[in-house]
Structure 1
Amino acid sequence: MSKFIIENQFWEVFPEAEIAVVLAKGINNTKAHAEPMRAELDGLLEKGSEEAQKFLTAEVFSDNKVIAVWRKAYQQFKTKKGVRCSIEALLKRIDKGTGVGPINPLVDIYNSVSLTYGLPCGGEDIDTFVGDLLLTKAVGDEHFMALGDADFDNALPGEIIYKDGEGAVCRCWNWRDGQRTMLTEETVNAFLIIESVDPSRKEDLEAAANALAALTQKYLGGSAEVHLMDSAYWEIVL
């Protein structure tokens, strides 16, 4: 059985990081299943967008705490030029008034949680993993094709990535997911993750994980198991 392992190379850079994992098993992520609940799912995104306003109080966008803490984190490792944390990308849309539209039921759910709690959330299809999933530093050139791209854009040496035996799963820590492991309508077993580099937000991280698990079960069925990981608890079975 495969595992999720956060390697020492990560903890050496981010010793105070905390990561919440939700293992959602036996879900139904099809649009047909979600159609009767589509108005509610849209409502989650709308409510999350409203809640996100509380994180945008500074006159200068980059001065907002949830943005600044991740910009500082991204300075600690090699990244592709110009990339930003996923929560910054979402909040930028809120700041500009463009909104966050629906993608698929599970992505909509985790985006609503990300907006509500001001924490980066992501998800992958467990059944696409090759061997163990690692959060670590890239050796370099791990294969990766980002969502929406037509060409490979492989990892850089020293970059923080999620990777498995086939290549990178998510580049620049939580910047962008890859096509190979993305959540789709066919996803039955999902790996959902929420990350924090701010020790003062431990309770927010736990609340976000519990909300994500509850909402996933409510709308998509199946089971949802929460794991709160840190430097003392760095390995789980998927």
Structure 2
Amino acid sequence: MRFQHSPALWRDFPALVPGVLLAHGLTPAVSVDAPVARYGAAAAERLAAAPESQFPEVQAWRRAFATLGLKPTQYRCASESLLRRFRKEGSLPRIHPLIDLCNAVSVAYGIPVGVFDLSRIGGDLEVRYADGDEAYETFSGGLERPDAGEVVFADTERRAHARRWTNRQSGHSAVRDTTTDVLIITEALHDTAPQDVRKLVSSLADELRTVWSVEPTTAVLTQEAPAFTC
């Protein structure tokens, strides 16, 4: 399988910094309480100094969404949505150990982190502008067609695994208790994204080694080297 962003997306968003982790052999029978608490404390410290709307990571995504014709307060990037909920409620819902961990890392860094069940992706996966005929499955099992020009995560079978860039992940490839192999994708656009994404990827890889005793494959992609093969 090959993961990449389309040349058109790199052209329009040259500041993009994607990070990728591939991990095999995961199970839900682990505890992530300690790292979730640690990353949550880091997020709470940042939010005590300023709301998420002032984070440079979030502001960069708001500008990108505005460029795409989306209202930034109507369609929030995944990390902003999580930070907003965390600020209001003081915690995030617990879903699955891997999702809980990735959500905690996301709020700590202010950067979106998406997790995909590798077995549910048909062929290659590309982040690109939608043609409008891709199939997107909601978490309730409904079927949607992304708007033409919308940024989607689309596989070779023309299934959209996320809509509106980082905003809405598909129920089809969401992590579940039977998931063992995952592709984790993080993306940032702010000025210090090259350093921050590398730190996030390294931190998350360390957590996967510690919690699951697995050795993830990682990469930070660039416009010159935009593809990750697994």
TM more than 0.5: yes
Structure-2 change in CA distance of 1:236 and 1:87 (3 Å): same
Paired positions, count:
227
1:65 equivalent in alignment to 2:64: no
CA shift, 1:67, in A, is 2.4
| Contact in 2 for aligned 1:55/1:66 (Cα 8 Å) | no
CA–CA distance in structure 1, aligned partners of residues 55 and 18 of structure 2: 21
Whole-Å separation in 1 of the counterparts to 2:219 and 2:54 = 31
CA-CA distance at 1:203 after TM superposition: 1.4
Partner residue of 1:227?
A: 219
Report SS of the residue matched to 1:16.
Answer: coil
Q: Which residue of 2 aligns with 1:188?
A: 180
Off by >6 Å, runs of 4+ in structure 1: none
Could you tell me how far apart the structure 2 residues matched to 1:213 and 1:78 are?
35
Q: What SS class does the counterpart of residue 59 from structure 2 fall into?
A: helix
Is 1:126 the counterpart of 2:125? The answer is no
Partner-residue secondary structure (3-state), 2:9:
helix
Contact 2:57 2:189 in 1 (8 A): no
Structure 1: tracts of 5 or more residues without a match:
none
Per the alignment, residue 146 of structure 2 pairs with: 155
Q: Root-mean-square deviation (CA), in Å?
A: 1.9
Aligned mates of 2:193, 2:124 — CA distance in 1: 28
Alpha-carbon distance between aligned partners in 2 of 1:5 and 1:67, rounded to the nearest angstrom:
23
Contact 2:17–2:193 under 8 Å retained in 1: no
Deviation at 1:211, TM superposition (A): 1.0
User: What secondary structure sits across from 2:126 in the alignment?
Assistant: strand
Shift of 1:195: 0.8
Deviation of the 1:98 alpha carbon: 4.2
Between the aligned partners of 2:55 and 2:4, the Cα distance in structure 1 is: 31
For residues 236 and 145 of structure 1, what CA distance do their matches in structure 2 show?
Answer: 25
One-letter amino acid of the structure 2 residue matched with residue 20 of structure 1: G
Give the superposition deviation at 1:179: 1.2
TM-score calculated relative to the size of structure 2: 0.91
Structure 2 counterpart of 1:19, one-letter code: P
Aligned sequence identity (%): 24
- 1:111-155 deviations in whole A, cap 9, x for unaligned? 1211221111111011111111001111113111233x3422321
